[in-house]
Amino acid sequence: MRVHVTELQNGDQLSNDTFNNYGLHVLSKGTILFSHEISRLFQHQIEYVDIDERNAAEPEKRTLESTINPKWLPTVQPIYENAVKSFESLFSKASDQGVIDDSEVSSMLQPLLNNLQLERDVVSMLLLLNTKDDYTYQHSVQVGMLSYYLATWVGYTDEDSAQIGKAGFLHDIGKCRIKDDILNKPGRLSDEEFEEVKKHTIYGHEIINKSFDEPFVAIGALQHHERNDGTGYPHGITGDKIHPVAKIIAVVDIYSAMISQRVYQEKRDLLFVLKELYRLSFKELDPYTAHTFIKHMMPNFIGKKIDLVSGESGMIIMTHPTEFFRPLIQIDDQFIDMSIERDYEIQHVYI
């Protein structure tokens, strides 16, 4: 059956090879279409494609799972869950023994890093994996994953990115020395409690230095709460005095914390989270690192449904390389470039 690209649904399958107007091959026969593939068709200005007949008995499902390649979940989810459970054990050993085993860390993290390239939709991936349980352990695994991604995006080699992923994975290991009633307190911390929590950066630096000789892994634990303007902790250092790896972890640490569901916090709208990172990039966070993260995360919204402040609904078709939050959108059969049409504003993105 021949359909316009605006009518494609996640899970449709191409029945023919697809070429653009210049004869360039875009997608092969048999390709299963999801948001990433559909956006490619838009980018190549392809209007109609041939797809296999749909099963009329199965209506389109607008669930998170339907936006992700089905080959991904069975592979990565058990690896992720194993990493979370293993980190809990690592956390306990660090508390009891004051050291961690480098080979044990690698055995937890490396299988996850080996499989990250399978899934391009980082936004949906983390939300699908995320649960309300084991926040401290899940957060560490997520920061490890995101640190790896961001390190590759800012130009580190795969080998160095894996080490930076390890730094992210261990950034909060010092929290093993913080009392559980403080660490898991659902309400606001007292000044004394917050001063104790801040010490996790120093504790983590000590534990990693005692455990193995990888200085920037330890410095990631020490400095990930430092801020460009000097308002961070534990030492209130500024700008270039903060290690580049700590700047990477700082960005993804905030992102992971803000998308997570905790006892005292509902997860926030993802567009709001990225806008908050953008706001912080002009004062507290390193601007290049934060903007690189946002630039690479925004394409994950392509194909996602949106609500506008005006009350209209639509879909994100393409993202803008510099105007991060003003993409090309579609409302019914109308295409609107928000970087030009400034009156439009996205209120919510459905993930």
Domain CATH for 277: 1.10.3210.10
Instruction: Tell me what pLDDT residue 184 has.
Output: 81
Q: Are both 90 and 229 inside the same structural domain?
A: yes
Cβ contact 302:351 at 8 Å: no
Q: Which of 271, 282, 259, 291 is nearest to 153 (CA)?
A: 291
Residue type at position 305: K
Q: Is the dihedral of CA 268, 269, 274, 280 positive or negative?
A: negative
Helix ranges, the chain (H): 35-43, 73-97, 102-115, 122-129, 135-153, 158-169, 180-183, 191-198, 200-211, 215-223, 244-259, 270-280, 287-297
Q: Report, as an integer, the average pLDDT of 8-29.
A: 85
Q: Are both 180 and 218 inside the same structural domain?
A: yes
Q: Which of 142, 168, 4, 26 is nearest to 80 (CA)?
A: 142
pLDDT at 1 over 60: yes
Through-space distance between the first and last CA atoms of the chain, rounded to whole angstroms: 28
Q: Are both 33 and 114 inside the same structural domain?
A: no
Given pLDDT bands bounded at 50, 70 and 90, which one contains residue 61? very low
Of 64-78, 149-163, 296-310, the range with the lowest mean pLDDT is 64-78
Residue 280: HSE in the Cβ half-sphere, 13 Å Cα cutoff: 24
- Reduce the DSSP state of residue 350 to 3 states and report it: strand
Q: Are both 13 and 82 inside the same structural domain?
A: no
Q: Are both 77 and 195 inside the same structural domain?
A: yes
Cβ contact 317:335 at 8 Å: yes
Q: Are both 205 and 269 inside the same structural domain?
A: yes
Q: Are both 74 and 48 inside the same structural domain?
A: no
Helix count and strand count (H, E) for the chain: 13, 9
| Phi, psi at 207, each rounded to 5° | -65, -45
Q: Are both 289 and 307 inside the same structural domain?
A: no
Q: Are both 287 and 329 inside the same structural domain?
A: no
Given pLDDT bands bounded at 50, 70 and 90, which one contains residue 69? very low
Q: Rounded to an integer, what distance in angstroms lies between the CA atom of residue 18 and that of residue 273? A: 36
Instruction: Tell me what pLDDT residue 122 has.
Output: 67
Instruction: Tell me what pLDDT residue 338 has.
Output: 96
Q: Are both 137 and 204 inside the same structural domain?
A: yes
pLDDT at 266 over 50: yes
Given pLDDT bands bounded at 50, 70 and 90, which one contains residue 300? confident
Q: Rounded to an integer, what distance in angstroms lies between the CA atom of residue 139 and that of residue 46? A: 41
Q: Are both 314 and 199 inside the same structural domain?
A: no
Q: Rounded to an integer, what distance in angstroms lies between the CA atom of residue 341 and that of residue 146? A: 33
Q: Last residue of a domain, which of 16, 31, 60?
A: 60
Q: Last residue of a domain, which of 41, 60, 79?
A: 60
Q: Check residues 216 and 310 and name the one with the higher pLDDT.
A: 310
Beta bridge partners of 334: 331
Q: Rounded to an integer, what distance in angstroms lies between the CA atom of residue 331 and that of residue 259? A: 27
pLDDT at 310 over 90: yes
Residue 344: HSE in the Cβ half-sphere, 13 Å Cα cutoff: 24
User: pTM to 2 decimals?
Assistant: 0.79
Q: Rounded to an integer, what distance in angstroms lies between the CA atom of residue 244 and that of residue 217? A: 11
Domain boundaries, position 171: 67-298
Q: Which of 277, 224, 286 is nearest to 250 (CA)?
A: 224
CATH at 25: 3.90.105.10
Q: Is the dihedral of CA 143, 148, 149, 152 positive or negative?
A: positive
DSSP label of 55: -
Q: Report, as an integer, the average pLDDT of 97-107.
A: 93
Q: In this prediction, what percent of the chain has a pLDDT beyond 90?
A: 54
Q: Report, as an integer, the average pLDDT of 156-166.
A: 94
Cβ contact 41:27 at 8 Å: yes
* Total domain count, the chain: 3
Q: Are both 316 and 231 inside the same structural domain?
A: no
Q: Check residues 128 and 216 and name the one with the higher pLDDT.
A: 216
Render the burial of 300-309: b for 16+ CB within 10 Å, e for the rest: bbbbbebebe
